[in-house]
Chain A
């Protein structure tokens, strides 16, 4: 039998019972569609987190005071150590040829006041280098001035939300605010950026690191952000940083250096596993759809015994009859899966419109695997009815009437 005839035969028999066929297509479509949508959501989440992370800066290393011996455990978060990680330590890192720039970081919280208004603000003490390293952008004015890092100039840069709250419509640049008990002149306002590295940049006040150390009476740095010269230099920069600080700390290695890449790789692994689990759970529905196909085809075989008997009487061998029914099952699952893909495409497009901030990414392997699993399920569950049809005795089949 020619392939075209086989397909035509199956097509006609499927069209003969439109309701039944339609429902089976629906079942397959739900299964395939949900697999694709869930994979898209998982991949979207992974891309979102990766993007947020990459936007923190390029070729970034983060130096934390403290070190744990437990392998695989979390690094010390709070940054308290007996020996201070000093501003001079940060400056010394610039000596290395693989380090392009360095931004020391002091973090704390202080009451920000202007006139009668007072509210608590997160204070970041850093240098002019923070601007480039963290890909910051100004909405008004300028960032911290360059020059000697130990100069405690009483100037500050405010995050967008903080500036709006404190100043309202009044232009903030040139005005004075009180942080704790000291006056600072506002020289700039940052563009709205949202949350990153655990802090909401829009609610932050950035002051020179030496001023922050004085304000909080804190000699030790909270973090040092290091930018390596280029991608390949990151590993060497990590080693250089550890060596320089160890030498300055009398041979004691009391810091942890985290690379952006390593964290990103960990996140990647976690999200990939998540996406696969989601897809696996959705794929269970494809198996259920396959069971439905088997059920309906068994009924169909018992209803079409006369037809099958006639086919066999005309000379079709059992294997050809089996192939006919398997093709029918395959066509069902394939069309159902394609229908599901169409619905999923519409669904992901709709989601993309509703949540523009969240990337909805459909990787190439998603529809392929959905269709593949659907086809597999259809063939697997269509095998039993097909075999039953193939085994029918033509005489017995035709005599029943």
Chain B
């Protein structure tokens, strides 16, 4: 049988019972739409989270005290016996292929200006922050490039803190008190918004050495390194590790590259997306049962037709293929409709609720349609075999 005749045959059979074919296709369409919508949601969230984490720059390596290889905190970040020092940060900054290093300490203190005060996050850092963390200064400048061990008492305000303490007034050059000590405002950061619930603008940046003194600490909590583009993250990480082992006499730090962190994060999110997609697959399964049911009924109804086909010379295989193709056609059409509905739904959701990002990559769409066709093929096999196994004489006799 010629291919186009076979296709024409299938479509004629389907359009003969339009309502029935429509409802069968509808079952598959709902299933595919659910899967597409859910995986779009998962994919959108995946991209969103990765973008949030990448906003601080990509060529980053972080060094933390303590040996914790998983994502978690080592107790050493809180207190330890082998402090990570500012000198360590300076030495790391001098490594080949390292562009800049930022020593990091953070805590919470009260910031006061005249009569207004606010408890906010204090981040002890270095002058390289705008470069390393890709943060812009809106007014003034960031911390000056002083000797890290004897930095002057300058502070840079986050936009939220500036609003709360100064309102619309100019803040540059004014004196503020942090934890009772006097600082001069050198600059104001541009607004960065929120990251995963954490207000990035509710912070004040001071030199790391002053922060260590303010919180009565010996050890930094982290050192962030920015390495030159084109260098290999692994090489720089290995160099940083040997430097610190030499300086500390033992391997008592954890070195994580941005790539490693994003990879771990990415795989976790992928698993979640797949799990959520599988939930949508339950509807698809029921849709498959639907195709199975309808095709079984159709085969019983069209006994005479099948008998006639066989009588005029169609082989068992051809009859099998005809019915399997019919099932695949229904689910294919249903799949397309579901794809359109799911993609449109995801796009609308993304517009209406900005907090829930969605994204439908082309590969997902193609895979979804392929899945629909495969389901149709699988569900159609059993009824098609029953049709092919019919004895033409028996089939023609029943009337």
Contact = CB atoms under 8 A, between A and B. Distances in A.
Interface string A66-77: 111110011010
A181 B121 CA distance: 34
Interface of B is mostly: mixed
A110 B65 CA distance: 11
B27 A80 contact: no
Given A108-B80, A254-B110, A281-B38, A217 B218 contact: yes
B236 interface: no
B197 A106 contact: no
Contact of B214 (A30, A82, A299): A82
Nearest to A204: B75
Nearest to A255: B108
How big is chain B's contact interface, by range? Answer: 35 or more
B253 to A, nearest CB: 11
Contacts of A291: 23, 26-27, 30, 290
Contacts of A228: none
A174 B122 CA distance: 44
Contacts of B109: 81-82, 254
A351 to B, nearest CB: 16
Interface stretch (A16-24, A358-366, A390-398): A16-24
Contact of A288 (B27, B78, B198): B27
Interface of A is mostly: mixed
A352 B319 CA distance: 47
Given A68-B121, A70-B199, A292-B289, A76 B107 contact: yes
B282 A30 contact: yes
Contacts of A78: 77-78, 106-108, 221
A26 interface: yes
Given A285-B283, A292-B293, A110 B81 contact: yes
B319 to A, nearest CB: 20
Nearest to A252: B110
A288 B107 contact: no
Interface in A1-37: 19-20, 23-24, 26-27, 30-31, 34
A281 B34 contact: yes
Interface in B331-345: none
Interface in B273-291: 279-280, 282-283, 285-287, 289-290
A123 B75 contact: yes
Q: Which of A19, A84, A291 gathers the greatest number of chain B CB atoms within 10 Å?
A: A291
A67 B119 contact: yes
Interface string A32-70: 001000100000000000000000000000000111111
Nearest to A82: B179
Contacts of B179: 81-83
A106 B120 CA distance: 23
A168 interface: no
Nearest to B298: A299
Q: Which of B198, B279, B296 gathers the greatest number of chain A CB atoms within 10 Å?
A: B279
A181 B81 CA distance: 9
A219 to B, nearest CB: 7
Interface stretch (B66-74, B88-96, B364-372): B66-74
A69 B164 CA distance: 11
A296 B279 contact: no
A254 to B, nearest CB: 7
B159 to A, nearest CB: 13
B326 interface: no
A285 B282 contact: yes
Nearest to A25: B289
A291 B283 CA distance: 11
Given A108-B79, A291-B23, A20 B296 contact: yes
Given A110-B81, A295-B24, A299-B297, 15 more contacts: A20-B293, A20-B297, A23-B289, A65-B108, A78-B108, A120-B252, A122-B75, A198-B72, A198-B73, A218-B217, A282-B279, A284-B283, A288-B31, A291-B26, A292-B286
Interface of A: 19-20, 23-24, 26-27, 30-31, 34, 38, 65-70, 73-74, 76, 78-84, 106-111, 120, 122-123, 180-181, 198-199, 212, 215-220, 222, 252, 254, 278, 281-282, 284-285, 287-289, 291-292, 294-296, 298-299
**4 closest residue pairs by CB, A with B:** A80-B107, A108-B79, A66-B108, A82-B179
